[in-house]
Chains A and B, each alone.
With several copies, the nearest count.
Chain A
Amino acid sequence: MTASRAAPAASHPSALSRDQLLELYYWMRLTRSLEERLVNLYRQTKVVGGLFRSLGQEADAVGSAFALERRDVLSPLIRNLGSMLVKGATPLEILRQYMARGDSPTRGRELNIHFGDTERGFIGQISHLGDMVPVMAGVTLSFKLRGEDRVGLVYVGDGATSTGAFHEGINFAAVQRCPLVVVVENNGYAYSTPVSRQTAARHFVDKAPGYGIRGLQADGNDVLAVYQATKEAVDTARAGEGVTLVELITYRRKGHAEHDNQSYVPEGEIDRWAAENDPLDRYVRVLRTQLGFDAEAIAGIEARVGAEIDAATDEAERSPMPEPRDCLVGVYHDPPLAPVLWYREGVRSAVDSHERPQGWGTYDAR
């Protein structure tokens, strides 16, 4: 099974109910509006560290995650806020996380959307690109070994495909026929590096035969096409037929992070994608003209999203900062607590004198 091909155009996704069709829009809208809120908070310096956008890639994240069942597991990357929302992450969690609050999912330990929850079925990524592929090979190996009817999905960017970890992980999963879907989000750039300097391949989907797996390619800005292709890959995995590589072609309209001015992008390229190929605009058009939804349905979602984000922001802003000593908890199951170093004994916190180092101005970590 090494055939690579474009998945069929998917303007009539008969398997989705009308509620689901609207839901897709809800998740995309929520993703975009939540990020817009984060931009405001970033400008107010309430965000600690960098801010990463998925503007223009909402369809890719939402449509692919939507193809999973609740019991399935996915591993998101920095531009998969939409996937995480679909999988059950809440705006409140995201906001607390970006503001490094004590009651955020990582209690202030990790950056931005680097968090997970195995109950809801998403795994906290680390920064080192590619590493989640072997990890998801192992997650799905466990499904196979236990005979569980569960599937895993891991995202990699066009840039991350160059890492050794990606290669080792996808190959391992392919040989073991793990129930895994590998989504390559080809958004044209890795930081400033265009795809042409990342690989000499014509398409990322051309990598599939080299691993003896199925390959599919879809328009990443068409949420229904994304859903359809991913669903096909998920079904393949669920049927015990192993790994599929799904290439989603999309475009990163913002810089790598908020500070990046995208000087390396050819004149007009961003505007063209924004004008002609915005995934939300496109889907609204489909909903209205092809699927027969009225303007009220769309407006209703927008209102709901706005209210939800406002409420979440209010609550997140009330969230406490972490207690300094919480940093010592839980490196190991046993011992549960790292010792306080001798020169701190009896001192409330490191910073009860004056010093409080500032983050470095334009520093953006991922």
Chain B
Amino acid sequence: MTPAEAATGEITYLEAIREALFEEMERDPNVFCLGEDIGRYGGAFKVTNGLIDRFGENRVIDTPISEAAIVGAAAGAAHMGLRPVCEMQFIDFISCAYDMLTNYVATARYRAFLPCPMVVRGPSGGYVRGGPFHSQNPEAAFLHTPGLKIVYPATASDAKGLLKSAIRDEDCVLFFEHKYLYRRVKEAMPAGDHIVPIGKARIAREGRDLSIITYAATVWKALEAAEQLEREDGLSVEVLDLRSLLPMDDEAIVATVRRTNRVLVVHEDTETGGIAGEITARINDLAFEWLDAPVKRVAAHDVPLPYAPALEDFVLPQTSDIVRAARWLAAY
């Protein structure tokens, strides 16, 4: 997929990611990719497909199965002025680099004045029958690590624009890609050098009666729910897609609370310890007086994510859950 081709029509979330990689590698010879099976094979999900033909083996590096080394080596290369983009074959394996990310990478600038501009990206999230080790949402585990940034796009154009920002960022950005969306959502890319700034949320749908704050795959479920609520209940639901989780867009959060006075936070991660807690605390902190109802959460049940369809569907939040919760909140 060349940029020219892409401009002519809609491309998927996955292709948007590839296009961002492609454009950034064209733009800046310091950008390179490393990860397992990303070269000739093009990656488990084919995100990096074709990159090696264009940029060669030195800029699309197949590594041993060593997530800590992938991340650590990226950091070392970043110190020296390169701009590495690491792929985790599945984001679940980022846990193997947890020490390296939270202790080495996140603190490099602060403790040693070492720039560490790098991206760690990979397929995340559930709804795909991946079972407990191919469906994780690791964002909450990194939220309390100053020095990292976290983004998690829901749309193809945000995927592209945020990845380009992430690659240009002077610090380490964790870029979570929702694999359920890889080939399910499509969009025409804005023309030119399409950049989405890190730290800015997006109003995915405007509304007056109630706000749903969410990100990634559940943005789409929230939109589905909002439509149903409009249709069946005449409710006007605003959907705020956070896009960036660290830093978080407090301004946009406060603005939506002030508009609707009722907030449902929705995410795919477990309820306990998920990011909804942080969002709730910020709303309490910054907009308590504007609340007409408690901030409520719709999230996954507090269990490892099981594999069988009937089980996974029960554990994860579904559109109907959002509808029920929103009705409750609207009636509060």
Contacts and interface: CB of A to CB of B under 8 A. Distances in A.
B115 interface: yes
Given A168-B66, A190-B65, A110 B111 contact: yes
Interface stretch (A56-64, A285-293, A357-365): A357-365
B262 interface: no
Nearest to B115: A333
B64 A136 contact: no
B170 A333 contact: yes
B298 to A, nearest CB: 6
Nearest to B44: A191
A325 B314 contact: yes
A216 interface: no
A109 B128 CA distance: 14
Given A133-B72, A331-B304, A343-B324, A363 B41 contact: no
Contacts of A340: 301
Interface residues of A, number: 93
B318 A355 contact: yes
Contact of B62 (A143, A197, A324, A363): A197
Interface in B235-258: 247
A80 interface: no
B82 A331 contact: no
A353 B71 CA distance: 43
A349 B310 contact: yes
A106 B113 CA distance: 8
Contacts of B99: 128, 131, 165
Contacts of B128: 357, 359-360, 363, 365
Interface residues of B, number: 97
B303 A328 contact: yes
A110 B104 contact: no
A350 B320 contact: yes
Interface string A316-354: 000001111111101111110011111110010111110
Contact of A100 (B68, B307, B320): B307
Contact of B76 (A135, A163, A197, A330): A135
A224 interface: no
Contacts of B95: 128
The 3 closest A-B pairs by CB, nearest first: A134-B72, A138-B76, A108-B308
Interface of B: 32, 36-37, 40-41, 44, 58-59, 61-82, 84, 89-90, 92-93, 95-96, 99-100, 103-104, 107, 109-115, 127-135, 146-147, 149, 169-171, 179-180, 182-184, 247, 271, 285, 296, 298-299, 301-304, 306-316, 318-321, 324-325, 328
Given A163-B65, A171-B64, A192-B41, 7 more contacts: A106-B111, A172-B64, A333-B170, A334-B170, A338-B303, A353-B319, A360-B128
